[in-house]
Amino acid sequence: MGELAHIRNILEEIRRLEHVIGVSLISRGGLFILGDTPKGVHQETFAAMAAIMLGAAETSSAELKDNLSHVQINLVEKDVVLVGAGTRYLLAIVMDGKGDNDKAAKAASNVVNRVEITI
């Protein structure tokens, strides 16, 4: 299986989680790499903001001498969960607001830990 197909399979595994609307692979520099975002979302802006938020949270956790599990953004109708995926990437999971964000973050972390994202 090619590397791109492998990454698509990883994203699809996360997308199949209950209450997940979309999942994106984003570079830590803020570039949208692969995946999907909800209709009407500007992928470039979404990717940049996700990278900034995760980077800020990681810096904060380092200052507090603790490890970051994930970043959770609770909106009125949706939630966004950001999970680090190695040193070069992150996963942004958009949920419908009805699911267990911690469970989704843990499942995404488990998928990421099983495979190395190296595109």
Burial of 17 (0-12, 13-18, 19+ CB in 10 A): middle
Contact indicator for 115, 108 with CB cutoff of 8 Å: no
pTM: 0.89
Distance (Å, whole) CA 26 – CA 31: 6
Token duo for residue 17: 């989680």
| Count of the separate structural domains present in the chain | 1
| Domain coverage including residue 97 | 3-114
Distance (Å, whole) CA 118 – CA 73: 27
Looking at residue 115, what is its pLDDT?
58
> Has residue 95 been placed in a domain?
yes
Instruction: State pLDDT tens for residues 90-101.
Output: 999 999 999 889
Low-confidence ranges of the chain (pLDDT < 50): none
CATH number of the domain within which 12 lies: 3.30.450.30
Looking at residue 30, what is its pLDDT?
96
> Has residue 19 been placed in a domain?
yes
Looking at residue 10, what is its pLDDT?
86
Token duo for residue 95: 């949920």
Looking at residue 99, what is its pLDDT?
87
> Has residue 13 been placed in a domain?
yes
> Has residue 18 been placed in a domain?
yes
> Has residue 8 been placed in a domain?
yes
